[in-house]
């Protein structure tokens, strides 16, 4: 009887998690795509603004070189103003972080975009900087953070349901192990979605960087920079970001689709 009640509770929790996830749908204001998200664009903006100072501190704060800061902001705003991102409700801000060792760039929900000095010093042209920032703008426009939050809540609910169903009062050690396995499965699901988001941001980045007047082939050069810096090390399946070599294939395909007759002359490298 006790076991049946446990399974019933687990079933209710799993069902509630599925219903909550699939019933929360919103239309992306830029792409028109229906997405599973449970927060408004206003919530995304507020969350990004609240988290930005703490995130910056993790990378040593903002870089003291004001000229470099202004250059990153100028290039980022050119991406926004020259692309469909200009139609979004987000207020984009672009920051150069002081960390000279870490090679990274990331975007918080709502439009707060960061680039480390460690990555910037490895980039050789304005077009490469634009490619990185366009990729991050793509994450914001596609609402990847909001989607990831909704997916995380779903997987946490399912992991909790699995833990309840697997619990055995006569074998508590085995129940803990089963719960750990359920949590690991949830993590793998989240990783897979994150990898798909990265590839989608690459494709959006190609379009946005081209719309802003930059040569999208600079994004291929960025992949080479990441690969040389060790971005492709380790088993690809367990990395948050896809292998740069595989990302190059996606970017090349998107460039060909965007410019079927070839990349025109005159775009900024």
**What digits encode the pLDDT tens for the residues 80-128?**
999 999 999 999 999 999 999 988 898 999 999 999 999 999 999 999 9
The token pair that represents 221 in the structure block: 């050069």
Q: What is the torsion angle, in degrees rounded to the nearest 10, for the CA atoms of residue 12, residue 15, residue 17 and residue 19?
A: -130
Residues 39-73 have pLDDT tens digits of 899 999 998 999 999 989 999 999 999 999 999 99
Residue 154 pLDDT level (bands cut at 50, 70, 90): low
Between CA 86 and CA 91, with CA 87 as vertex, the angle to 5 degrees is 60
The winner for highest mean pLDDT among 28-32, 149-153, 225-229, 240-244 is 28-32
| Mean pLDDT of the residues in the chain | 81
What are the angstrom distances between the C-alpha of 109 and each of 39, 92, 164?
11, 10, 33
The token pair that represents 17 in the structure block: 């998690």
Looking up tokens 């599973």, which residue turns up? 36
Q: Indicate the pTM of the whole model.
A: 0.80
Q: Answer for the pair 235, 186: CB distance below 8 angstroms, yes or no.
A: no
Instruction: Check residues 226 and 158 and name the one with the higher pLDDT.
Output: 226
Can you give the pLDDT at residue 175?
45
Rounded CA-CA distance 207/184 in Å is 35
Residue 236 pLDDT level (bands cut at 50, 70, 90): very low
The token pair that represents 34 in the structure block: 């229906």
Rounded CA-CA distance 254/247 in Å is 11
Looking up tokens 């830029």, which residue turns up? 30
Can you give the pLDDT at residue 165?
52
pLDDT at 19 over 70: no
Q: Answer for the pair 60, 170: CB distance below 8 angstroms, yes or no.
A: no
Rounded CA-CA distance 118/124 in Å is 13
Can you give the pLDDT at residue 208?
97
pLDDT at 21 over 90: no
């Amino acid at each position: 009887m006790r076991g049946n009640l446990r399974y019933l509770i687990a079933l209710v929790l799993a069902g509630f998690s599925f219903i909550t996830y699939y019933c929360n749908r919103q239309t992306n204001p830029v792409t028109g795509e229906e997405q599973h998200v449970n927060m408004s664009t206003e919530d995304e903006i507020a969350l990004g603004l609240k988290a930005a100072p703490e995130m910056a501190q993790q990378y040593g704060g903002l870089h003291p070189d004001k000229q470099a800061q202004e250059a990153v902001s100028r290039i980022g705003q050119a991406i926004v103003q020259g692309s469909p991102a200009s139609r979004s409700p987000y207020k984009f801000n672009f920051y150069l972080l002081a960390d000279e060792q870490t090679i990274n760039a990331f975007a918080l929900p709502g439009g707060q975009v960061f680039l480390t000095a460690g990555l910037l010093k490895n980039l050789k042209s304005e077009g490469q900087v634009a490619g990185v920032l366009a990729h991050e703008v793509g994450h914001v426009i596609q609402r990847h953070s909001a989607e990831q939050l909704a997916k995380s809540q779903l997987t946490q609910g399912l992991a909790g349901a699995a833990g309840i169903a697997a619990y055995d009062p006569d074998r508590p050690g085995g129940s803990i192990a089963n719960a750990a396995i359920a949590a690991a499965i949830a993590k793998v699901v989240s990783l897979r979605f994150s990898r798909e988001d990265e590839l989608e941001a690459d494709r959006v980045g190609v379009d946005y960087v081209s719309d802003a007047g930059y040569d999208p082939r600079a994004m291929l050069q960025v992949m080479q920079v990441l690969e040389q810096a060790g971005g492709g090390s380790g088993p690809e399946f367990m990395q948050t970001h896809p292998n740069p070599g595989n990302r190059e294939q996606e970017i090349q395909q998107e460039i060909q689709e965007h410019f079927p007759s070839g990349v025109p002359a005159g775009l900024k490298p």
